[in-house]
Chain A
Amino acid sequence: MAVYENLVETFVELIRRASTQLPDDVVSALEKGKAEEQKTGLAEKALGTILENVELARSISAPICQDTGTPVVWIHHPVGVSTRALAAQFHEAVRTATERKFLRPNAVDTLTGRNTGTGAGRGIPFLHFEEWDEPRVEVRMILKGGGSENVGAQYKLPDSRLKAGRDLEGVRRAVLDAVFEAQGKGCAPGVLGVCVGGDRVSAFEMSKRQLLRPIVDTNPIPELAELEERLLREGNQLGVGPMGFGGKTTLLAVKIGVLDRLPACYFVTVTYMCWADRKAAVSIDEGGEVTWLS
């Protein structure tokens, strides 16, 4: 399908938007946090600088954060569209976006220590493809920074240190521990993507997929909706605050997905997304029309 063979510039624009324009739902959450912090304190000042930075990045079309992260991408496509052709175009777009300074050259050869210089490398960007019935291609992407990636965690329950059993109370205990352990190192206030269940491959993917959800939404599974709300409240009670300076705003949102598990396994997987919760999405229909979804 020829319409899906000319997407490099659309993908570059997707990357530019994600890197330079923080989505409105994230900005609103940061503004709400700032309003709740003590006036003229370190936490309020940090959030003020963050919001000033977001505005500046948008106005000059430059990266919000110099760590432009790993592009993690979910692509839905109709039957008959070549995923190899889409992947090749996305890699090309990453190289172009790196040349244009929307991305930092962010891929390092792990064995030699040399930066590839192009922004692309083995496993970077990370692309997921799923076929669907709709006659259009939809691309959803997050830019996942490395500092926050380092404070992600995976727990296997039961965990005797945390007195965490194989139930949602155990999940709660594990997630709160992860927030405590992260302190400010993941660039708090963060957004948590959590997966309950799955294995060590599927669970991290599912936890990252949760980050595509809007900051304010309701989990369709009532007991998870309740847990999300409780963890957001309790996570903020820890007092870590923006940048770990202390304060009320430690988390902006908690999003929990679920996968089935093996009888032997019960994983709780936490992806920590920094306040620079960069995400963008685009739809390209069979006529080639491009619709920006965020």
Chain B
Amino acid sequence: MAELKLPVSEEEIRKLKVGDFVELSGRMITGRDTAHHWLMQDVREDVMPYMKDTVIYHCGPVVAKNDDGSYDFVAAGPTTSIREEPYQADVIGRYGLRGVIGKGGMGAKTLAGLAEHGAVYLHAIGGAAQVLARAIPKVERVFMLDEFGVPEAMWVIEVDRFPVVVSMDSHGGSLHDEVEGESKRRLEELLK
């Protein structure tokens, strides 16, 4: 399994292909429905440095606050990515992201955005909230916690060998398109 350090260069990202297993280490940020809408309403300068050349994780964690004011992720699997389809390609372009982690895959607009900007879609195992929380040893800081609430806030996190599968690459490849195409053929067969 390949290891990938974050932040990462466009050159490194372009080497990845659909089906590759990758373990991520370094800094990333979470963001989901409310965050994507907010990121496109304006240019959010304060979060920009935390997004450039790293990845955004579609995740609404369960979070514990420690006595010293720091936070720990208690459960942190991916949420369904397709809801961010209207925004994702533009968010990648505006904030210089090199990738997106989520589940379920994304659509044509995102796939085109990945190719244009040099980024990948990384599939984490949906529901594997403990295995993935274990790979998140540190919560560095949080944006918009009061406004968005715990699941929707943007959490800056440190990850250590965070396991993902490349399911959409920067060359137009999409595992989701392949599986959907094949399953459609089989459905038509069953419904003849």
Contacts and interface: CB of A to CB of B under 8 A. Distances in A.
B60 A104 contact: yes
B150 interface: yes
A213 to B, nearest CB: 21
Contacts of A103: 62
Interface stretch (A7-15, A113-121, A199-207, A217-225): A113-121
Q: What DSSP secondary structure best describes chain B's contact surface?
A: mixed
Interface in A206-256: 234, 237-241, 243-246
Interface size, B (range): 35 or more
A187 interface: yes
A185 B127 contact: no
B31 interface: no
Interface in B146-192: 148-152, 163, 165, 167, 175-176, 178-180, 182-184, 186-187, 190-191
A66 B182 contact: no
A281 B98 CA distance: 45
A46 B125 contact: yes
Interface residues of A, number: 54
Contacts of A238: 183, 186-187, 190
Q: What DSSP secondary structure best describes chain A's contact surface?
A: loop
Given A241-B179, A244-B179, A275 B127 contact: yes
Nearest to A68: B62
A113 B19 CA distance: 37
Given A185-B80, A245-B179, A106 B151 contact: yes
B104 A104 contact: no
Given A57-B130, A147-B103, A104 B190 contact: no
A176 B187 contact: yes
Contacts of B19: 42
A236 B21 CA distance: 25
A289 interface: no
Contacts of B128: 49-50, 52-53, 65
A180 B180 CA distance: 8
5 contacts: A103-B62, A104-B151, A173-B191, A185-B82, A245-B123
Interface string B88-122: 00000000000000011100000000000000000
Interface in A35-61: 42, 45-46, 49-50, 52-53, 56-57, 60
B157 to A, nearest CB: 13
Contact of A184 (B130, B152, B163, B179): B179
Q: Which one of B64, B148, B175, B183 has the greatest number of beta carbons of chain A within 10 Å?
A: B183
Interface in A173-204: 173, 176-177, 180, 183-185, 187
Interface string B11-54: 00000000101000000000000100000000000000000000
Interface in A111-160: 113-115, 117, 145-147, 150
B129 interface: yes
Contact of A66 (B61, B123, B179, B187): B61
B131 A53 contact: yes
A104 B75 contact: yes
Contact of A237 (B64, B104, B123, B186): B186
